[in-house]
Amino acid sequence: MDRHRKAIFLALTAILMWSTVAVPFKYGLQYFHFVHFLFITVSIAVFISFFNLVFKNKLKSLQSLNKRDWILGVIGGFLNPFLYYLMLFKAYSLLPAQIAQSLNYTWPIMLVILSVPILGQKLRLISVLTLFLGFSGVYLIASEGQLWPLVPSEPFGVILAILSSVVWALFWLLNTRSKIDASMNLFINFSSAWIMTLPFVFFFSFEYSVPDLAWVAVGYSGVFEMGLSFIVWLAAMKMASRTDQISNFVFLSPFLSLFFIYLILNEKIYPTTIVGLVIIVSSIIIKQYIDHRIKLK
């Protein structure tokens, strides 16, 4: 298998991992407090990222990092996984899985908006139009099948799911400033988030009568959402001759996720969820295509 095919294989493997996690999120959060769920998943991610550094013989390289590298890594850890997953897990505990995961995929839209004040980019008219198109998809998803009046069953959950996409976009923008190896950066992110989460664990009582399947759900989430998926995705991006050839694969994930949500959780999938997702993904792809055409001129 040549490098390009291997990159595609790794990228699709990561996408498959991300596509399945909405199910254990929703199931596990019926039994775990979202703070405990976060703590366990981050603990697993720290363990995996640590041994990934050991395997790559990069553990000693942490000593060579300067103060700026550590500060960016800790801030990144605050944004993701600490704040990002606190919001996302709470949203999953409140909303149907299809709504939480679909709204979470609005991060590319938030990325465009945040790039204006943070990176100093200018919004062209076509960018504004694609943003309006994307937010119309958000409206459809939040409607939960009732287009008008817009009365989500859990408004706070909707707000959290959308805010989580803002936090993810901020994390992505922060990472563009980081110059260190991505594997080391992930370890710093996860480790700092683990430390941040630890004090909150003691504020909430733990339910000891958690069914075995819920433990499987939280373990699966830690391994395949945080731990392995990021490592596999980074390997795919590094191996690809052109990252843009595989980066759009990520938009397969929400649609595959709906399939697993329907099949395993038996959630009735609203037509507005599917249409809204199609609109959001279309607006993002249109924006990328136009930006690419402008660069070629």
For residue 275 the two structure tokens come to 């249409």
* Predicted pLDDT at 208: 66
Q: Give the integer Cα–Cα distance in Å for 27 and 262.
A: 13
Q: Note down pLDDT in tens along the chain; length 297 residues.
A: 667 678 788 888 888 898 899 999 999 999 999 999 999 999 999 999 999 899 888 888 888 888 888 999 999 999 999 999 999 999 999 988 888 888 888 877 787 778 777 767 776 777 777 777 776 777 788 777 665 555 666 888 889 998 998 999 898 888 877 788 888 889 999 999 999 999 988 888 776 678 889 999 999 999 998 888 888 887 777 776 656 566 667 778 888 888 899 899 988 888 888 888 888 888 777 776 666 666 655
As to burial, measured by CB atoms within 10 angstroms (0-12 exposed, 13-18 middle, 19+ buried), residue 71 is: exposed
Q: How far apart are CA 267 and CA 260, in angstroms?
A: 10
Measured between alpha carbons, how far is 63 from 73 in angstroms, rounded to an integer? 14
Which three-class secondary structure state does DSSP give residue 104?
A: helix
In angstroms, how far is CA 98 from the centroid of its own chain? 15
Q: What is the predicted pLDDT for the residue at 282?
A: 81
Q: Can you state the angle between helices 271-296 and 97-104, rounded to 10 degrees? A: 10
Kindly state the tokens that stand for 95. 């909303």
Q: How far is CA 190 from CA 45, 132, 229, 243, in A?
A: 7, 35, 14, 24
Q: Is 120 helix (H, G, I), strand (E, B) or coil?
A: coil
**What is the C-alpha to C-alpha distance for residues 213 and 231, in angstroms, rounded to an integer?**
26
Alpha helices, H only, 176-227:
182-201, 212-221
